[in-house]
Structure 1
Amino acid sequence: MSQEPPALHDPDQAGVFFVGGNDLDVLAYYAFDARLLSRRIDLMGVRDKRTLLLRIAVALDFPVSAGRNWDGLLDSLRDLSWLEASGYVLLMEGAGELHAHNEPEFDTLIAILDQAQAHWHTQGVPFWAFLALRDKDIAELED
């Protein structure tokens, strides 16, 4: 990371952020140090909603009853009662491929992560999502 990491324990600073792939290990360390539950979600090769939802559900050990659609993803991210913790850090590796091949699904994912973060903020719980993108994806999003 080229800059000072955010205070991961602070729900007022939590949110959804784009980072480089090399930043995920550092963020995992800081999440551990802040005593937050972190989960690495491998999005390499993900180009469609079905695969995306499956990867997230497996990484976060969603209950079998969780819906396998966008509403189900949001409901599950706002619950997480089976992963009780003082805060959450999602480390999404390889998100650039989804962005490059299916921008509408990528945008929907970002919107859902933002809604989940807003929910947890009202509870005073930090909820972070770090999506690792390629440099060219980050530059494209900044334009």
Structure 2
Amino acid sequence: MNTMELGALLADPTQAGAYFVDARDRESLVEAGGALQFAVLPVDLRACADAAAAMREIAETLRFPEWFGDNLDALADCLADLSWLPSEGYVLMLEHTADWRAQDPEAMGTVLEILNDTAARWAADRIPFWAFLPVSTRELEAINA
């Protein structure tokens, strides 16, 4: 997919959601989001083996307000608001999720649901909200199997 096609895709809020992507496509996605002047937010989850640690990292990167409650409901509430981080669109790059997915697959599944629900909520306001999880080609094949 060329840069123009990728930009057109990212600009379409009806297509937005949470997606596992080939790690080799990470830079293209970041560049396309930046070209659209979206908030591009890389979240390094390398040290996170559970949802609590991942939420803390997400909260820090997205500068969640003081009232963030460190739980899944509060994560959904903050992602649905983002008034402190106004943008024409959002690209979250949730990187290095392998340990978390292995240690706590149920919580990872719940967070993916929250991210998809968030994308649908923002789409109603015509604002793209993307969450990409770059993984190796082998991991992507296993996930898609």
Q: Same fold (TM over 0.5)?
A: yes
Aligned-pair CA distance for 1:45: 2.5
Aligned-pair CA distance for 1:2: 9.2
Q: For residue 59 of structure 1, what is the aligned residue in structure 2?
A: 61
Q: Distance in 1 between matches of 2:36 and 2:16?
A: 13
- Structure 2 residue matching 1:129: 3-state secondary structure: strand
Q: For residue 37 of structure 2, what is the aligned residue in structure 1?
A: 35
Q: State how many pairs are aligned.
A: 143
Tell me if the contact between 1:96 and 1:132 (Cα under 8 Å) persists in the aligned partners: no
User: Which amino acid is the alignment partner of residue 68 of structure 1?
Assistant: D
Say what the alpha-carbon RMSD is for the aligned residues. Answer: 1.8
Q: For residue 7 of structure 1, what is the aligned residue in structure 2?
A: 9
Q: Distance in 2 between matches of 1:134 and 1:104?
A: 21
Aligned-pair CA distance for 1:19: 1.0
Q: Distance in 2 between matches of 1:47 and 1:34?
A: 33
Q: Distance in 1 between matches of 2:144 and 2:2?
A: 17
Q: Which runs of 4+ in 1 moved over 4 A?
A: 1-4
**So what's the TM-score if we normalise by structure 2?**
0.90
Residue range with higher mean Cα deviation, 79-88 or 94-103: 94-103
Tell me if the contact between 1:39 and 1:89 (Cα under 8 Å) persists in the aligned partners: yes
Structure number with the higher helix fraction is 2
Q: For residue 88 of structure 2, what is the aligned residue in structure 1?
A: 86
Tell me if the contact between 1:41 and 1:91 (Cα under 8 Å) persists in the aligned partners: yes
Aligned mate of 1:46, from 42, 45, 48: 48
Aligned-pair CA distance for 1:101: 2.3
Change (3 A) 1:80 1:94: same
Q: Deviation string for 1:51-108 (max 9, x for gaps)? A: 0110100010000111210000000000000001111110111122221222111111
User: Which amino acid is the alignment partner of residue 94 of structure 2?
Assistant: M
